[in-house]
Amino acid sequence: MGAPSHQRDSDDQAERAAFARLRTGDPTGFDELYARHHRNLYSFLVRLSGRVSLAQDLCQETWMAFAVKAGGLDPQTHVRAWLLTVARHAYVDQWRRHHRFGDEAGAEDVADFATSALSASPEHGVFLSEVERALFALPLADRELLLLVGVEGLRQDHVAAMLNLEPATVRQRLTRARMRLANLLAPEPHDKGERR
């Protein structure tokens, strides 16, 4: 269940106020927005790239871009969507330059991140590790859709605009990505037999 609507409204107002302060050069605005969004941005980049060190670099690059460009952004800018868009572009540019996407070391980084940073118990950590590995095994296009909609909670129309796609295309691709993830997480048929 999400936060009550009055709390969301209050959070939105506080964020708009922080963004307005940042746009006028007040560093407290940046500090507040950083505190609100840094953890999610970093988690998104770890899951997208599969590498903790690369995620750290891209996260820093994204925040620097935000600090530099904030004064020229539209006052109605959706800060989280803007940060995720810039972070995604930074990762895609990095991948194109180095062709390092999708190797086993990256998958291990993602699994380790899930276990150490996100788990409340060993059992929870094992489950998250399996989910993260399956997520990382998906094609990049599927993975980013699941992260943006399912993890970051962005509306599908925002994601469509970010990816320069039609909303109907996003819905179709999201359905396909969810099915692929479910298939990766489904137990093998022989495992079912062993449980009987």
For residues 42 and 56, is the Cβ–Cβ distance under 8 A? yes
Q: What is the pTM of this model?
A: 0.73
Q: Check whether residue 91 and residue 46 sit in a common domain.
A: yes
Establish if 42 belongs to a structural domain.
yes
**Structure-derived torsion over alpha carbons of residues 177, 178, 180, 184, reported in degrees to the nearest 10:** 140
Residue 157 has a CB neighbour count (10 Å cut-off) of 10
Q: What is the C-alpha R_g of the chain? A: 18
DSSP 3: -
Establish if 60 belongs to a structural domain.
yes
* Domain of residue 159, CATH code: 1.10.10.10
Say how far apart CA 81 and CA 77 lie, in whole Å. 8
Q: Check whether residue 92 and residue 156 sit in a common domain.
A: no
Q: Check whether residue 96 and residue 15 sit in a common domain.
A: yes
Q: Check whether residue 92 and residue 30 sit in a common domain.
A: yes
Counted domains in the chain: 2
Say how far apart CA 19 and CA 73 lie, in whole Å. 10
Q: Check whether residue 90 and residue 151 sit in a common domain.
A: no
Q: How far is CA 168 from CA 149, 159, 171, 175, in A?
A: 14, 11, 5, 11
Q: Check whether residue 143 and residue 67 sit in a common domain.
A: no
Residue 52 has a CB neighbour count (10 Å cut-off) of 18
Establish if 176 belongs to a structural domain.
yes
Average pLDDT of the segment spanning 3-10: 61
Establish if 106 belongs to a structural domain.
no
Give residue-wise pLDDT tens across range 24-57: 999 999 999 999 999 999 999 988 888 888 899 9
Q: Check whether residue 32 and residue 95 sit in a common domain.
A: yes
What domain range is 46 assigned to?
A: 11-101
Establish if 55 belongs to a structural domain.
yes
Establish if 192 belongs to a structural domain.
no
Which one of 101, 116, 146 terminates a domain? 101
Q: What percent of the chain has pLDDT over 70?
A: 74
Q: Check whether residue 15 and residue 95 sit in a common domain.
A: yes
Q: Check whether residue 15 and residue 73 sit in a common domain.
A: yes
Q: Check whether residue 82 and residue 158 sit in a common domain.
A: no
Q: Check whether residue 18 and residue 96 sit in a common domain.
A: yes
Establish if 111 belongs to a structural domain.
no
6 falls in which pLDDT band (50, 70, 90)?
A: low
Q: Please tell me which of 107-116, 121-130, 161-170 the model is most confident about, judged by mean pLDDT.
A: 161-170
Establish if 119 belongs to a structural domain.
no
